[in-house]
Amino acid sequence: MKRIIKNSLKRIAKSINKKPLRINKQKQGPSKIKKTNISSTLRQIKKLDIKTKSLVDGLITGNYHSVFKGNGIEFSEIREYKTGDDIRTIDWNVTARYNKPFVKEFIEERDLNVYFLLDISSSGSFGKTKSKTHKAIELVASLMFSAAQNNDNVGVILFTEEVEKFIPARKGKRHILKILDTILNFKPKYKTTSIKNALSFTSQVIKRKGIVFIVSDFYANEFTKPLKILKQRQDIIAIKITDDIEKTLPDVGLLELEDEETGEQILVDTSNQEFQKNYKKTMQENSNKLDKLFKKYKIDQIEITTDEPYEKPLKQFFKIRKNRMVK
């Protein structure tokens, strides 16, 4: 018999009319973000910096700058047109006078607030090769360093069923390193998740328009209303962190499932075709419901899996955003 961590287990078991052989409820208590094998926080941060540097310098930074605009622009100078320049910046009066194309160049005023709502509940500790929390931290670090290179203000909200830590947005790499130090050493008070509470808190404390990344596996109860309210003021991007095993359970016979957030345990037979069918159906329905919600409120979604590089989904995301801005 093998053991795997998973949410919403009791409901899935009921969907095939199979009574749980064993369910244990444990009291809620402190949990801790899983760390890498490197014990020193400083070395962990340095490792994150090195790991994300090539991605930030190559793929992300230019794309980040082009799809997340600052709050305004000011005129800089007139110069000759170069291949690749946006034809919308052509100054037709100067072009006509000199009989060759000239463009207006502007300097962007970057004073953008970028916030990361990072889910640090216990379900993030699951992962076949790497935990969802570990993957989320790597991705968040990459985006934070990109924001810092673009002179944006970066802040973070760490949440479980309550908001457990709020760090206001500021500029600079030193500030980013302090945030990462906090994330790597933070011990959550609660295990369960409430995206609703995190979104409501964000609407209350962040009044200025900016960008909000929600980084979670989105195993949470209803949060439509606060999402709608926050979207009215902020550009929201949902980053869904998943693991392949969560989508399709392996056929290994008897399997003990445990909800990491509530401590509930249940024994199921993964060789049961009806169970497998209903499990896949339930997971797909949950995924479709989330997709429909984000689409309704025009929220971009990036899905990242724990065992695959996140360059490809990020590249696709930036491409979609760029194409939308051109239209």
Q: What is the DSSP string of 237-283?
A: EEEEEE-HHHHS----SEEEEE-TTT--EEEEETT-HHHHHHHHHHH
Distance CA 206, CA 186 (A): 22
| Segments of 1-112 assigned E as strands | 2-5, 72-80, 102-109
What is the C-alpha end-to-end distance of the chain, expressed in Å?
A: 55
Render pLDDT for 289-313 as a digit per residue (tens, 0 to 9). Answer: 999 999 999 999 999 999 888 888 8
Please classify residue 300 by burial: count the beta carbons closer than 10 Å to its beta carbon, then call 0-12 exposed, 13-18 middle and 19+ buried: middle
What confidence score (pLDDT) does residue 44 get?
Answer: 66
pTM of the entire predicted model: 0.74
Q: Which of residues 277 and 202 earns the better pLDDT score?
A: 202
pLDDT tier at 33 (50, 70, 90 boundaries)? very low
Distance CA 68, CA 146 (A): 11
Burial 99-125 (b: 16+ CB within 10 A, else e): eebbbeeeebebebbbbbbbbbbbbbb
Distance CA 242, CA 128 (A): 10
Comparing 8-17, 136-145, 244-253, the range with the smallest average pLDDT is 8-17
What confidence score (pLDDT) does residue 53 get?
Answer: 64
How many residues make up the chain in this entry? 327
Query: Contact 231/299 with Cβ under 8 angstroms?
Result: yes
What confidence score (pLDDT) does residue 65 get?
Answer: 67
Beta pairing partners, 302: 239
pLDDT tier at 256 (50, 70, 90 boundaries)? confident
Comparing 58-62, 64-68, 201-205, 216-220, the range with the smallest average pLDDT is 58-62
Distance CA 117, CA 205 (A): 13
What confidence score (pLDDT) does residue 37 get?
Answer: 40
H helices of 195-252, in order, are 195-205, 224-231, 244-247
What confidence score (pLDDT) does residue 4 get?
Answer: 43
Domains of the chain with bracketed CATH:
2-69+112-326 (3.40.50.410), 73-108 (no CATH)
Query: Contact 243/126 with Cβ under 8 angstroms?
Result: yes
3-state helix, strand, coil in the chain (%, to 5): 45, 25, 35
Continuous segment of H or E residues that includes residue 174? helix 173-185
- pLDDT value at 197 more than 90: yes
